Structure 1
Amino acid sequence: PARLSRTSFRHQYWTVAQMLTHHTMGGCNLLPGDLLGTGTISGPSPDQAGAIIELTRGGSQPLTLEGGSATTQEQRRFLEDGDSVIFRGWCEAPDAARIGFGECRGTVLPALQA
């Protein structure tokens, strides 16, 4: 796999407390164990973009994937059929145990014929 981006929650605009408050103010019965999505988190530098649409400037600048030889380097403007996306996340602090999200993996399937 080729790493396309690496960012940090420190670049998130809203705090977790603010996101939980916003979520529950609409009447959501948030329970322990519920998964809360933050949306795309992008950092200040280009290699910290949180989405391929940002990395490729809206598809106008192809992204060269790591690996392979110089003559067989793959490029992407958008995800393609068969591409796999892997998310990994963790939280760590000095003198504290590292808490991991684990891995979330998915593969882009071809569109269904109508």
Structure 2
Amino acid sequence: MARASTTSDVFNALGDVHRRAILDVLLTGEKAVGAIVGAVSMSQPQVSRHLRVLGEVGLVECRAEGRRRLYRLAPEQLQPVQDWVAKYERAINDRLDRIEDYLEELQRQGDDRDT
């Protein structure tokens, strides 16, 4: 089943390079919007819009500290992405194993010819 073409799921939210950059900034810990703005070279309204999308899909959490809003990564929400990527990783590893087996067989055949 195809995913809806919205930002309402983790996959589509991660499809935007700016949102991925914001997540990269939050990898090091909780940050205020101003710190995120400085790190990603976007305007505050742009960062706030992206943070809202990331918050809607559960990738970031926000807490108030006085007048400031502090954002932090919610990495457990990346599990669907990790599960999806794991399928491809297994497929690639299976292919590499078959290539390795084939190369070892070729090596054995070459060794048999030398003797």
Structure 2 length-normalised TM: 0.21
Max Rg structure: 2
Q: Which is helix-richer, 1 or 2? A: 2
Structure 1 length-normalised TM: 0.21
Q: Which is strand-richer, 1 or 2? A: 1
